[in-house]
Structure 1
């Protein structure tokens, strides 16, 4: 092995050792460990998944090691390999991409480490369970809300901001929204573009759409981060349209209360994280688990938030 490779391996194992010590998984601690690999911690939604998992792990008496893939499939695989070296009873993973994650899952499969996917599915590899909101139903509820807000219009022009191509959340949220809203003969989808679930990209894509297609009535964004970027572009352009996000994060709630967003399809990310730890415990105990586990969603508007 080359000297640089040995140095990189030593550094990686040192980092894992430090994480273990801070999370309480030293050799003197008989607590079992669960691994959680998240696609990014720049998105508040995934931070909420982490928080929910950490709270439930503490309640159930498990150590939890959380690693950030920084939206990089290569980093994701490295994280999985590191957690396998530490020794975990189960691996919770929120994929960077439904295709790219397959190689990471196969690494865990080879070592007989049970894998549970969160929010986004994996297209290949053996997965013990998948936990997510019902994204198809959530997309459909966004469509129904948009139609109810625009029930008096003769024609409805729709813009859709898509998430990362290849991600199951992108596919399922888009499917639910598109299939439901196009049942109404008044509707035309005038633009549908990817902004990779990113706020800054949502801003830039929305600016471009405003230039290319200045006349539209509703923006459906497949997550809140893109919706927040789009809302900023719309405010600058002084356009008053219905803006619907998806996730229910705190920034989106503030934007709804402030009037720059209309609604969001609220997921329960802390619940997803907590369920992940619950399922890990069942796997550890040899209990039977369901293959697909749904967390609830709901439409949040200004009135809902004021009444909470």
Structure 2
């Protein structure tokens, strides 16, 4: 009887250990998939700060539905702590894959390591991160923000090639510490360095919002009697700047030239109307490609470490032609 009891106890112990195990299986099969093979994705969005972001959210939600992926969506309202909490919740729910667009570049090491240790693959969308941990995300999907800034700067250089200077530029920055704000600033600065007469005389964050762009532009106009160019790091801030310039009795696009990034419908309309002068596109319709990448990483397939979405540029005439077919 003693030997029999010991044997039964040993079998029970093995069963408990097998049940507790070490978490999800490698390759992202974290246990949330249904018997039919449906993939569950946890997605944390930055917020709804701009027309671009709204279009991005819609693209992701529509693409998930079309791909048959169960999407658990969380809006961080622009707060990093909200995103970290959402990602931890996704880990606890044992989703198959996590995707998110980071509010800022730093401060993700711990939560990304938690996802990695849980065997859940992570995809970065739109914005990248700086991390000291290895292999904590599978791939990045988004634009080349440095190149976007360079295209904006190169247009300014070309416009003022015959002007001895000085040419006074003000910059409306995106969210402080965010990937696009940092890299668009860098790209723009590199490009305008080709003409020493081009000077950024003021630079401040408008937080990628229309109201922020208007408020900062109002302050710029009061502090600087002569402004030649506005570089807005997204359309919404540029649209806010237009309101401030008009309220000051000036003509946007003429008295003050405006260069922006995004190419949303509202921005393109302002460009076609002559209130903006040049727009660099940043395509928000990342949903379909994100779902394709999600299926691959969950299946354990290799994916490129960086998938850059193609963008283009528009002047006023090109915007008028493109507007009827714009999807965002």
Q: TM-score, normalised by structure 2?
A: 0.80
Residues 184-235 of structure 1: per-residue CA shift (max 9 Å, x gap): 1221221122222222121111111111112121111111222111121111
Residue 52 of structure 1 deviates from its aligned partner by 2.3
Give me the whole-angstrom Cα distance separating, in 1, the residues matched to 2:321 and 2:299.
41
Structure 1: distance between partners of 2:184 and 2:288 = 23
Q: Secondary structure at the match of 1:235?
A: helix
Please give the per-residue CA displacement for 1:244-265, whole angstroms capped at 9, x wherever unaligned.
1111222212222333222221
Q: Secondary structure in 1 aligned to 2:120?
A: coil
SS in 1 for 2:102: coil
Following TM superposition, by how much is the alpha carbon of 1:115 offset from its aligned partner in structure 2, in angstroms? 1.0
Distance in 1 between the 2:293 and 2:60 partners? 11
Q: Decide which of 146, 153, 166 is 1:143's aligned counterpart.
A: 153
Aligned residues: 283
2:97 paired with 1:90: yes
Identify the match of residue 251 of structure 1 among 247, 266, 270.
266
Name the residue aligned to 2:256. Answer: 241
RMSD (Å), alpha carbons: 2.0
| Alpha-carbon spacing, 1:100–1:249, altered in 2? closer, same or farther (3 Å) | farther
State the Cα distance separating 1:269 from its structure 2 match: 0.8
Whether 2:209 is the aligned partner of 1:194: answer no
Partners of 1:153 and 1:288 lie apart in 2 by: 51
- Do the aligned partners of 2:33 and 2:96 also contact (CA within 8 Å) in 1? no
Gaps of 5+ in 2: 1-31, 323-328
2:300 matches 1:299: no
Residue segments in structure 1 that go unaligned for 5+ positions in a row: 1-24
CA contact (8 A) 2:38 2:68 kept: yes
Residue by residue over 1:91-143, the C-alpha shift from the partner in whole angstroms, topping out at 9 and shown as x without a partner, is 11001111134443233223221111112111124221111211111111101
Q: Which residue is 1:131 aligned to?
A: 141
Q: Quote the Cα distance in structure 2 between the aligned partners of 1:302 and 1:104.
A: 44
**CA-to-partner distance for each residue in 1:35-60, whole Å, 9 max, x for gaps?**
21111023221222222223333333
Selected match of 2:302 from 275, 284, 288: 288
Match of 2:223 among 200, 212, 215: 212
State which structure, 1 or 2, has the greater radius of gyration over its C-alpha atoms: 2
Q: Aligned pair in 2 of structure 1 residues 235, 66: CA closer, same or farther (>3 Å)? A: same
Where in structure 2 are the equivalents of 1:1-308 lying within 5 Å?
30-124=37-131, 125=133, 126-155=136-165, 156-239=167-250, 240-270=255-285, 272-308=286-322
Q: Is the CA contact 1:268–1:297 (under 8 Å) kept in the aligned structure 2?
A: yes
Structure 2 SS opposite 1:269: coil
- 1:203 touches 1:229 (CA, 8 Å); kept in 2? yes
SS of residue in 1 equivalent to 2:137:
coil
